[in-house]
Amino acid sequence: MSKHIQWLYEELPGLVSRGVMPAEVAERLRQHYGAPGTPAGAAKRWAIILFSILGAALIGGGIILLLAHNWEELSRPVRAVISVAPLAVAAAIGAWLLWTGRTSTAWREGVGTFQTIAIGVAISLIAQTYNLGGRFDEFMLTWSLLALPVAYLLGATLPAILYLVGITVWTGAVGHDAGQRLWYFPLLGLALPFLWWTSRGNRYHPRPVLFAWVLAITMSIATGIALEQVLGRLEVWPVFFGGLFGLLFLVGARWWGDATAAWQRPLQNVGALGAVGLSLVLSFGDAWSPGRWHWEQIQTWRTVVELAAVAVFPVAAIALWVRSWTRRAWSEVMVGAVPALAVVGWTLGVQSKLLGAGLFNLYLFALGIGTLVIGLRERRLGTVNAGMAVLAAVILCRFFDSDLGFVVRGVAFIVIGIGFLATNLILLKWKGAAK
Amino acid sequence: MNTKILFGLFVAVAAVQLAVPVSQIWKHEDILRTGTVYKFKTAPVDPYDAFRGRYVALRFADTQAPVRRGESLDRRATAYVTLRPDADGFAQFGELTATVPATGDYLRVETTWGTGTNRQFRLPFDMFFMDESKAPKAEDAYRQFGNRRGGQTNAPTYAVVRVKNGRGVIEDLCITGVPVREFLRTAAAGK
């Protein structure tokens, strides 16, 4: 839960006693924010959401399996009625919920999940009854598009999550036509207001957090597939993925920066993991292919649109990164540097493999040591371990990197090792001085 | 948002959600009731679909036709193939065109590949769904009695398909000229 709310709760009694606000306003504030400081409150909220989704999903899944058995004794009209019956029931319950103004999370999540599954049941069973072939990607897209409004109208999470997964599957399966895959972006745009809408009251609530996890993971997969052609053909993938992971991380740091637990930081976690992974890949000389970019390759309007879509991510990320500098948020600055470095590296890598790879080796060492130092200074074991992990990864990569000669590697390892021992001595001295 | 507006929107969305399956039922019932009957020679095997259950995957013999003169068709393009029945009711493919034929029965297909003026295509139906216990048996029966490559049997395996306005709906699958479910019943009784 947010540190700010915790702070607010600590301030409330003082504010009331000093007459800054009347007691009922303080009470109303407490009601509005719920009981955030207590882990028990958050756990209960998670339990309610997960149990309603699980319950409804199990019932729906059971119905799907029962119907998939294919009861031959049933006539076609009976099967037609059975196909749409669960959906009609779900719609009736949903309408009743809205009519009676029931806002409980358990009801909405449960009914929303059930209705989502009922849509899938109806489409599948009709396909079974009439022996319709149909492709899996078309099925997923129809299902996802029909389910998404339920997310908004009932405020249910599962339809929104299914939608994200559905459009990702569709993008992967839509086939050879690369132009069609670009539709992923407008489709994604339909789901983004859900994040904004559910995080208005409390952005650390399980509902937006769960959605953001799925969003970050599916985006990392689907955007790459949607732009696959231009990323590969024009070799701009380092710039794109650097921008994507950097943007995820910085957006998370900017709007979800006060999270107290790791699971409340979906965008930061996925973004940071992606950024480090990408940097490791780019620290190999073979990742760079000089001479692949030619301005003459931009010939069609589609290429222009694709390149514009690619550029949006690093541009937005670098804009946020500049903000991190002005706020002096150094851990953000370090991880968020990947988009800018990818642009610089790509400009260098177009000329020479060594320059591109060298830049990312330097960056990874700086990132590892910087994270380590911040962790030590703030006495946070998790951060120390993250710094160690980055260093260990880059060291392992270089140890097995056959592009470099044994002598070069040997000397470099010894020099870096001496550097570590020296740093350690300096740190110990500092610590001694502090005592 | 106002409860009434929200309620109205929800009812509208639910109506669309229900309209999609209901219109599918309507359309396919209409084809099954009023479409023309054709037989398509097949080669079934039995895979599995988590959502729709067990089915017999159908491959059709000789799915190619000449492209209408003066037209050209790309790969993976939507095309229309004209149909006429032979003396035994089996479907014979006429020609492939890019536009809807003015007269006679036809099917909307997707072209795959081809050489010269001939093009291969994929028929819009390739799955026959069955009871989960029967689909594997149907496959066994096919292996025993099905159309072997190059060989001619007197009682072939075929799908009975109703065709109307370019769409086809499989009505039944026949093994040695007998509907597959009846065939399996007889086989079980004979054991």
pLDDT at A240: 92
Tokens of A307: 């390149």
Residue type, A192: L
Q: Which long-range contacts (CB under 8 A, 24 or more apart) does B32-36 make?
A: B32/A76, B32/A130, B32/B162, B32/B169, B32/B171, B34/B164, B35/B162, B35/B163, B35/B164, B35/B168, B35/B169, B36/B105, B36/B162, B36/B163, B36/B164
In 3-state terms, chain B is what percent helix, strand and coil (to 5)?
30, 35, 35
- pTM of this prediction? 0.76
Using DSSP, state whether B168 is helix, strand or coil: strand
- Does the pLDDT value for residue A247 go beyond 70? yes
pLDDT at B47: 62
- Does the pLDDT value for residue A237 go beyond 80? yes
- Residues B120, B111: Cα–Cα separation, whole Å: 6
Instruction: Verify whether the Cβ–Cβ distance B18 to A91 is below 8 Å.
Output: yes
pLDDT at B44: 55
Question: Which residue's structure tokens are 């389910």?
Answer: A147
A153 contacts on B by Cβ (under 8 Å):
6, 9-10, 13
Cβ proximity of A251 and A267 under 8 Å = yes
Probe site for chain A from B10, B42, B128 (most A CB atoms < 10 A): B10
Q: Which DSSP symbol is given to B91?
A: E
Q: Does the residue A423 lie in any domain? A: yes
pLDDT at A161: 92
- Residues A155, A91: Cα–Cα separation, whole Å: 14
Q: Does the residue A142 lie in any domain? A: no
Beta bridge partners of B92: B84
Residue B154, CA atoms < 13 Å, CB-side half-sphere = 0
A154 contacts on B by Cβ (under 8 Å):
10
Q: What is the mean pLDDT of residues A309-330?
A: 90
Average pLDDT, rounded, for chain A: 84
pLDDT at B45: 56
The contacts of residue A298 (CB under 8 Å, 6+ apart) are A304, A307
Cβ proximity of B106 and B167 under 8 Å = no
Nearest to B14 among A71, A95, A139 (CB): A95
What's the total number of domains in chain A? 1
- Does the pLDDT value for residue A340 go beyond 60? yes
Residue type, A253: A
Residue pLDDT, tens place only, A101-157: 887 888 888 899 889 989 988 988 888 888 887 778 888 899 999 999 999 999 898
Cα A314 to the center of its chain, rounded Å: 16
Q: Does the residue A253 lie in any domain? A: yes
Comparing C-alpha atoms, which of A148, A252, A155, A164 is closest to residue A204?
A252
- Residues A158, A166: Cα–Cα separation, whole Å: 12
Instruction: Verify whether the Cβ–Cβ distance A139 to B51 is below 8 Å.
Output: yes
- Residues B146, B173: Cα–Cα separation, whole Å: 12
Residues of chain B with pLDDT below 50 are: 149-153
B129 contacts on A by Cβ (under 8 Å):
70, 127-129, 131
pLDDT at B187: 76
pLDDT at A244: 95
- Residues A343, A334: Cα–Cα separation, whole Å: 16
pLDDT at A167: 93
Q: Does the residue A359 lie in any domain? A: yes
- Does the pLDDT value for residue A316 go beyond 90? yes
Q: Does the residue A82 lie in any domain? A: no
The contacts of residue A125 (CB under 8 Å, 6+ apart) are A67, A79, A82, A83, B52
Residue type, A325: W
Q: Which DSSP symbol is given to A263?
A: G
Probe site for chain A from B1, B3, B13 (most A CB atoms < 10 A): B13
End-to-end Cα separation, chain B, in angstroms: 67
More confident residue, A54 or B100: B100
Q: Does the residue A297 lie in any domain? A: yes
- Does the pLDDT value for residue A312 go beyond 80? yes
Instruction: Verify whether the Cβ–Cβ distance B129 to A131 is below 8 Å.
Output: yes
A70 contacts on B by Cβ (under 8 Å):
53-54, 129-132
A127 contacts on B by Cβ (under 8 Å):
52, 129
Q: Kindly state the percentage of chain A with pLDDT values over 90.
A: 27
A251 CA: distance to closest CA in chain B (Å):
28
- Residues A297, A303: Cα–Cα separation, whole Å: 8
pLDDT at A20: 82
pLDDT at A383: 82
- Residues A44, A34: Cα–Cα separation, whole Å: 12
A98: nearest CA partner in chain B: B7
Residue pLDDT, tens place only, A350-407: 777 788 888 999 999 899 989 988 888 887 777 888 888 898 888 888 877 777 777 8
A142 contacts on B by Cβ (under 8 Å):
20
B49 contacts on A by Cβ (under 8 Å):
68
Sequence-ordered alpha helix ranges (H) in A69-100: 76-100
Q: What is the mean pLDDT of residues A26-54?
A: 70
Q: What is the mean pLDDT of residues A291-320?
A: 83
Q: Does the residue A59 lie in any domain? A: no
Tokens of A243: 């921008």
Q: What is the DSSP string of A280-341?
A: HHHTSGGG--TT---GGG--SHHHHHHHHHHHHHHHHHHHHHHHHHHTT-HHHHHHTTHHHH
Residue pLDDT, tens place only, A59-114: 877 877 787 777 777 888 888 888 899 899 999 999 999 888 887 888 888 899 88
Question: Considering just the CA atoms, what is the radius of gyration of chain A in Å?
Answer: 26
0.90 surpassed by complex ipTM: no
A104 CA: distance to closest CA in chain B (Å):
15
A269 CA: distance to closest CA in chain B (Å):
33
> Distances in Å between the alpha carbon of A286 and those of A38, A339, B10, B71, B79?
51, 20, 54, 47, 45
Q: Does the residue A310 lie in any domain? A: yes
Domain boundary assignment for chain B: 1-34, 36-61+126-191, 64-122
